[in-house]
Each structure stands twice: as structure tokens, then as C-alpha cells.
Amino acid sequence: MTDMRLSGAAVEDSHGTAPTSGKRWLKATLIGLHSQSRHSRTLAFRVPGWTGHAPGQHVDVRLTAADGYSAQRSYSLAEPSTTPDRVAITVDLLPHGEVSPYLVETMEIGDELDVRGPIGGWFTWTPGDPGIGPGPVLLVAGGSGVVPLMTMLLARKRAEDRTPTMLVYSLRGPRDLMYGRELSEMSVGRSGSRTESDPEVRLVYTRVVPETHPRPASHLRREDIALPSAWPAHLAARVFVCGSSSFVEHATGLLRAEGYPDDRIRTERFGPTGADR
């Protein structure tokens, strides 16, 4: 298993901070805002000179105050690279943080910041990419760890890819759900009812459960990650896990118990970065 460490969305691999050499800071202007949950929103930026990115990569963000003080964080890219000079991130509010409150509650259209990237090349999946081998794709998200996995799903949809794919998304309650509309539309396809080519979406609520949801509140369980019986049994699924360090540890333990070899599992972790913890 290859493990990458994501701090407040900043990524470090097992050898330390992900390299940014050769990456220059670019000026980014906010051009779009969209609320994702009660405490998160997606921000879209126009970034002249941006060269594109792969689903699962992340970007450094730098804010600079009038007195010259600056703060830097990293966030997973929240959209596939489909439009030139465009970058989007989804930010979850950390109330005592130094950067996320500004991005979620204060920043307005036309405001600027600096970005650098894209960063990371291992925790990525592009539909049709032979580099990670054949087989279905299992995406396991804890909380805001859904962001890079959602970017993979959006890329799959755009490419009309038919790779068997399932997202298992663990969250506290309905008010914490990100990408609710997109996930609903994606999982039932154009016909209005789910087909074999549509990704399967399993929501795992850990505290508050909607009345119609069939699963009681609990942490991720072994049966939650069980693959659909219709998937080809002779091909092992490729697995991407993203969330807090404790969630990743728990999820990978379940995956190993299910018999997944470490070389089929790629992980990314959230952890404290500066005041954003």
C-alpha cells in the first residue's frame, strides 16, 4: 500500500512533503462559488497559465495580508481539468483555522490569491489509464476526503467510462453531505434508474441518519465495502481511500481483512496543518 499524508488537505508522501520544485505561484481570481454543505463550499478560480491536472491531484493556496504576512495550505482539486485556466477547490470549514474560515465565509467574487501546482501523481485515477492496471474501482471517503474521489467520478462521467465503480462515503449526517445533487444524478444515470454502467454510491452515516436510509448509524463496517456481486470476480478492485488519519487506518484494516493486497490500495490522509486542525 502506498500512503500519502493529507494535512488539512496538504499532501505529504512517505518521504516528506510532496515536491513543488519547478512549480511557480500563479495569480488566481475567484469567479464562482457554490455551497456544498452547511460548512463547506466550492470555489472556482481563473488562473492564467494553469496547464491542467489529473483527478486526485492537489494545489497549494497562499493568502497574503496587507502587512505582508502570508499563510499557505493545500487543497484537493475539486473538478477535472476540462476548461483552460480554471482551478476549483472544495473547502471544509475549520472554525479555529487560519485559512479555511476566509475561504468558506469571507472570500467574494473578484478576490485574488496565489496557487501553485498541480501536485501529486500517485493518488490519481484517470478513466482509461492503463498505468494502474485493469479492474473495477472502489473509492472510500471519510468526510471531506470525498473531494478528490468526486473529481475522479466526474472525470469518469465526462469520459463516459464504463469501468465498474463504487463510492463508499462515510459522513456524520445529512447536513454534512457534499456533492449530494451530483451523486444522486450520477448514480441513476440519464435514464432515471441505475444501470450497470452507473457508479454505485453507498452513504454511511455515523451519527444522524435520514428517516428513509436503510442503514443504522455506525462507523464504516466490513459489509459496507463488500463489492457488488455483478462485478467481475477475476479482477481485483483498485482502491482509493481518503479521509482523516484514523478513518484511513480503519478503512485499510477492513480492506485487508477482505483480502485486498497492499499494492491495490492507495491512501491519502487529512491531518493538522498550522492553525487549520
pLDDT digits (tens, 9 = 90+) for 126-159: 887 666 666 899 999 999 999 999 999 999 999 9
141 and 254 together in one domain: yes
Last residue of a domain, one of 98, 118, 138: 118
CATH number at residue 9: 2.40.30.10
> What H or E segment, with its residue span, contains residue 156?
helix 146-158
Distance CA 142, CA 149 (A): 10
Structural domain including 88 reads 2-118
Q: Kindly tell me if the per-residue pLDDT of 12 is higher than 90.
A: no
Q: Give the amino acid at 138.
A: L
Least confident of 152-156, 195-199, 216-220: 195-199
Distance CA 19, CA 9 (A): 15
CA neighbor of 46 nearest in space, from 109, 103, 107, 92? 109
Distance CA 152, CA 100 (A): 23
CA neighbor of 224 nearest in space, from 164, 147, 161, 171? 171
The answer to the question of residue 41 being in a domain is yes
261 and 238 together in one domain: yes
**Percent of the chain's residues with pLDDT above 70:** 83
How many distinct structural domains can be found in the chain? 2
The answer to the question of residue 124 being in a domain is no
User: What's the pTM?
Assistant: 0.88
* CA end-to-end distance (rounded Å), the chain: 26
